[in-house]
Amino acid sequence: MAETGFKKWIITITVITASLLELIDTTIVNVALPHIQGNLGATLEDVAWVVTGYAVANVIILPMSGWLGGRFGRKNYFMASIIVFTIVSFLCGNAHSMDELVLFRIIQGIAGGGLISTAQAILLETWPREQIGTATALFGLGAVVGPTVGPTIGGWIVENYSWPWIFYVNIPVGALAAFCTYTFVRETPKDAKGKPVDWWGIILLAIAVGSLQTVLEKGESEDWFAKPYILVLTISAVLGTILFIWREMSTEHPIVNFSILRHRSFAVGMFTSFILGFGLYGSVFVFPVFCQNLLGFNAQQTGELLFPGGLCTIVMMPFIGKMLNKGIPAQFMATAGMFLFYVFTHMLSNSTLATGEKDVLIPLLIRGVGMALLFVPLTTLAMADLKGPELGQGSGLNNMMRQLGGSFGIATLTTLIHIRQGVHRNNLLVNINPYNNPFNDRLHMLTQGFMAKGKSMIDATHMAYQAIEGMVTRQTLLLTYDDAYWISGLVMLFSIPLLYLQPFKKLKAVADSH
């Protein structure tokens, strides 16, 4: 039964706040890694596990969150997740070694996985079915804005305080969210209580999803299959997935209820959520690297550039929800969102070395509108046919696919950048030869310039070659990042036909059917 009045809104604010904590923590740590590395005396490879451990634990627990909510009660599980997340946030900030920090981040990821999906399920049950568009829009505020503003908040905290505070800020917010959950959220039936636990399902899920996420997180930095453990984990991911699906389809009490895939909207929605994650996390990954490595911005400046786009998403979300409630097909709005995302990537793929803050503002605002048009309709299409216990299961799988889409996006773009960087450098180096008049003119001009500053002929020539090397490197990076933007946009554009595999339904009709 849906809630009304003050209680509906206080529950809404509570679950959005809790999910926002989890989502911000997926990206807020990234800008603090160099500070953590220096403070704890760790290598870059070691400190990367602060991000990887959290992501792996998070994506393992997401598909299980529906079952856990059914076994212990959705309210109890949600509240326990908030409390554990809050306590471990303090322990992360108070960690004295890298091993401690990675361990606490893994626990934080486990607790965080129970926040986002359970929050979405609670929200969809709190609002009337005919207002599912509005409920999804409100949830989308955290899901889309969280990863976007995470670097902004992290950059500001690190610049003005110290890295432990990126964890300590969770404590008062988490405490308030736990209190409001205890006070206002209504308990749901414990559907899975007393039923056998599918331990084999849990083990196979952890092996399959954990192996896959680790491969995606570490593959590029480890040169993919050049490292034996990446190869072993890839095999584990494939075999684990096959065995897990077989187990869940054959057992009477599965951890993940694959029968919900009978809903065509949800089955197709799994793929569209994957594409959404690819675009959302992939673009958030590429843009800061592009700004800091090429345009010379610091972490805080980069975060501030992303903020207006996030604000644009916030402003658009309620309007998108109202448009859905009025019966405008979600497919049409998602199509517009995918096209706007393509426009954003197309504009940035034409960047030059002279690109400045004003040049990226309009594309980022377009991305903000596009993400609002994508997240709300895609999630609404996927979840519209689910009810009761299926909401928790569906929310967990849907969020897992978005997270995996993001991991695939980052891994794909990282590999693409690595490959294309070599291709572009080789193409540019063809022009660095004594038979190329423009090269000779530039070399002569630079040499003369350094000699005018008092350098000898030999030193000036050496410095001129170094300057040209710097130019080649910058041009190589520019062309590589332009390729990454272009590929991201094409993935989104070519995914538009998937939307029309989902049936057209008005939300009012969906509400009446339940």
Q: What is the DSSP string of 334-381?
A: HHHHHHHHHHHHHHHTT--TT--HHHHHHHHHHHHHHHHHHHHHHHHH
The total domain count for the chain is: 4
Do the domain assignments include residue 137?
Answer: yes
Do the domain assignments include residue 52?
Answer: yes
Residue 221 banded pLDDT, cuts 50, 70, 90: low
Chain mean pLDDT for the chain: 79
Give the domain-ending residue among 231, 253, 275. 253
Report the C-alpha gap between 255 and 433 in whole angstroms.
64
Same domain? For 22 and 171 the reply is yes
CA dihedral 238, 242, 245, 249 (to 10 degrees): 180
Q: Is the pLDDT of residue 347 over 50?
A: yes
Same domain? For 145 and 292 the reply is no
Q: Is the pLDDT of residue 87 over 90?
A: yes
Lowest mean pLDDT among 71-85, 152-166, 294-308: 294-308
Do the domain assignments include residue 83?
Answer: yes
pLDDT for 424: 84
Average pLDDT of the segment spanning 21-45: 73
Same domain? For 404 and 431 the reply is no
Average pLDDT of the segment spanning 415-435: 80
Q: Is the pLDDT of residue 513 over 60?
A: no
Average pLDDT of the segment spanning 139-160: 72
pLDDT tens digits along 469-491: 888 888 888 888 888 888 888 88
Average pLDDT of the segment spanning 226-240: 85
Q: Is the pLDDT of residue 254 over 80?
A: no
Same domain? For 209 and 355 the reply is no
Name the residue with higher pLDDT: 14 or 454: 14
Same domain? For 360 and 384 the reply is yes
Residue 189 banded pLDDT, cuts 50, 70, 90: low
Residue 84 banded pLDDT, cuts 50, 70, 90: very high
Distances in Å between the Cα of 374 and the Cα atoms of 320, 335, 511 are 10, 8, 22
Do the domain assignments include residue 504?
Answer: yes
Name the residue with higher pLDDT: 424 or 390: 424
Do the domain assignments include residue 193?
Answer: no
Q: Is the pLDDT of residue 47 over 80?
A: no
Structural tokens at position 478: 């520019």
Closest CA to 126 of 145, 139, 116: 139
| Share of residues in the chain with pLDDT > 70 (%) | 89
Backbone angles phi, psi at 185, to 5 degrees: -75, 135
Same domain? For 300 and 153 the reply is no
3-state helix, strand, coil in the chain (%, to 5): 80, 0, 20
Same domain? For 335 and 228 the reply is no
Domain with 283 in it: what CATH number?
1.20.1250.20
Q: Is the pLDDT of residue 511 over 50?
A: no
Q: Which DSSP category does 433 fall into? A: S
**Per-residue buried b or exposed e for 17-56, using 16+ beta carbons within 10 Å of the residue's own CB:** bbbbbbbbbbbbbbbbbebbbeebebeeebbbbbbbbbbb
Q: Please, are residues 286 and 485 in contact by the beta-carbon 8 Å criterion?
A: yes
Name the residue with higher pLDDT: 46 or 97: 97
Residue 299 banded pLDDT, cuts 50, 70, 90: low
Average pLDDT of the segment spanning 326-344: 87
Same domain? For 379 and 500 the reply is yes
pLDDT for 193: 60
Domain that holds residue 334: 262-413+483-513
Q: Please, are residues 63 and 114 in contact by the beta-carbon 8 Å criterion?
A: no
Report the C-alpha gap between 283 and 275 in whole angstroms.
12
Report the C-alpha gap between 274 and 497 in whole angstroms.
15
Do the domain assignments include residue 239?
Answer: yes
Same domain? For 58 and 17 the reply is yes
Quickly tell me which residue has 């072993």 as its tokens. Answer: 232
| Share of residues in the chain with pLDDT > 90 (%) | 3
Same domain? For 126 and 238 the reply is no
Structural tokens at position 469: 């090397």
pLDDT tens digits along 441-450: 887 788 888 7
pLDDT for 512: 37
Most confident of 19-28, 386-395, 419-428: 419-428
Residues contacting residue 118 through CB under 8 Å, at least 6 positions apart? 65, 69, 74, 77, 78, 81, 392, 395
Q: Where are the alpha helices (DSSP H) in 41-97?
A: 44-61, 65-72, 74-93
pLDDT for 117: 75
Residue 473 CB neighbour total at 10 angstroms: 14
pTM recorded for the entire structure: 0.74
Residues contacting residue 87 through CB under 8 Å, at least 6 positions apart? none
User: What angle is formed at CA 269 by the lines to CA 268 and CA 271, rounded to 5 degrees?
Assistant: 70
Closest CA to 325 of 136, 100, 456: 136
Q: Is the pLDDT of residue 326 over 90?
A: no
Lowest mean pLDDT among 15-29, 47-61, 186-200, 390-404: 186-200
Same domain? For 48 and 84 the reply is yes
Q: Is the pLDDT of residue 37 over 80?
A: no
Give the domain-ending residue among 170, 188, 206. 188
Name the residue with higher pLDDT: 79 or 284: 79
Same domain? For 390 and 450 the reply is no
Give the domain-ending residue among 158, 188, 218. 188
